[in-house]
Structure 1
Amino acid sequence: MTSATTLSAALHGDHRERLMRIAREVSLAQGTRLFEEGRRADRFWIVRTGTVSLDLRVPGRRPPVIETLGHGELVGWSWHFPPHLWQLGGEASTPVRAWEFDAGATREMCARDAEFGRAVAVWVGKVVAHRLQAARIRLLDLYGPYGSGGLL
């Protein structure tokens, strides 16, 4: 993940403070499944400590880990886009402390304040673009005849 996609770099000043007002601190044990691909995306997290692995269902195989997220990173973007279904799975790969956010409340905040909504949308869009590239590279490494060839 690039520094541009972490919370501290993506949302500045008042926007970050407003989002953090609805945060709830959570602790997750290693191995806890945060979400499953295809299920309803009704919340998201920002990692404080620990790591979360994102995985992707592959028929007939064990889900490969696409990316591992750490401090300051957004876990979950599917909550932001209809139909609000998870596009990946997520699991705590170590004990995790995180801030948890209600997706509906966040979307309401975005709808009430266009400037805040745009800042959140740009942040989430950058995360989606990064995750798409990470998934592409990981799947090429796993299933391509010559791997990713060192693509970045």
Structure 2
Amino acid sequence: MPPSIALRMNHALPAEHRERLLRIGRETDFPQGARLFEEGGHADRFWIVRSGTVALDMHVPGRRPPVIETIGIGDLVGWSWLYEPFVWQLGAGAVTAVRAYEFDAVAVRLMCLNDAEFGRAIEHWVGRVLAHRLNAARARLVDLYGIYETKEER
């Protein structure tokens, strides 16, 4: 595991759980411009970025999907796989060529069910990512579409 991923994940998962998770990951690559998933699709896997950048975007009717956040090395791509109905809440595309560890969602959910401590650690990690992503989405949408008060309107 590259040191940058270890450092990023050190804050997310205890070493024993991180190592257990990484043992079932498989290395995968995405070329620049590839879509990892589309909003509304079935969330059956997730990734941890090894190199490159991924843009998370959101469908806005009548507009091009705005980028909510750009994530990179050591970051989790996808959280919808953990929570029913297992449907992607955002879309994701490779901004640059991306190398990642890919994880099968069903396998990880079964690991969580079979080991409560592991499950709590994964849920805490993904929950923290989810909270961060929701804040990022809110802030980005306010930046893009918010109505700003001018001096004349006060």
Offset at residue 146 of structure 1 (A): 2.2
Normalised TM-score (structure 1): 0.91
> Distance between the aligned counterparts of 1:146 and 1:94, measured in 2?
34
Which amino acid letter does the alignment assign opposite residue 64 of structure 1? P
Offset at residue 14 of structure 1 (A): 1.1
Match of 1:63? 65
Unaligned runs of 5+ in 2: 1-7, 150-154
Match of 1:110? 112
Of 33, 36, 47 in structure 1, the residue corresponding to residue 35 of structure 2 is 33
Which amino acid letter does the alignment assign opposite residue 112 of structure 1? N
Any idea what the Cα deviations from partners look like across 1:23-43, whole Å, max 9, x if unmatched? 000111000000000110000
Task: Map 1:67-78; keep pairs closer than 5 Å.
Answer: 67-78=69-80
Q: Count residues in correspondence.
A: 142
Which amino acid letter does the alignment assign opposite residue 148 of structure 2? Y
Normalised TM-score (structure 2): 0.90
Q: Radius of gyration: which is bigger?
A: 2
| 2:11 partner SS | helix
Match of 1:124? 126
Match of 2:152? none
> Distance between the aligned counterparts of 1:63 and 1:8, measured in 2?
32
Offset at residue 124 of structure 1 (A): 0.3
Offset at residue 116 of structure 1 (A): 0.3
Any idea what the Cα deviations from partners look like across 1:88-119, whole Å, max 9, x if unmatched? 00000000010000000000000000000000
* Identity among equivalent pairs (%): 66
Offset at residue 19 of structure 1 (A): 0.3
Match of 1:86? 88
Unaligned runs of 5+ in 1: 1-5, 148-152
Any idea what the Cα deviations from partners look like across 1:116-138, whole Å, max 9, x if unmatched? 00000000000000000000000
Any idea what the Cα deviations from partners look like across 1:32-64, whole Å, max 9, x if unmatched? 000000110000000010000000000000000
> Distance between the aligned counterparts of 2:73 and 2:16, measured in 1?
21
| 2:65 partner SS | coil
| 1:84 partner SS | coil
> Distance between the aligned counterparts of 2:70 and 2:45, measured in 1?
19
Offset at residue 9 of structure 1 (A): 1.4
- State the Cα RMSD in Å: 1.0
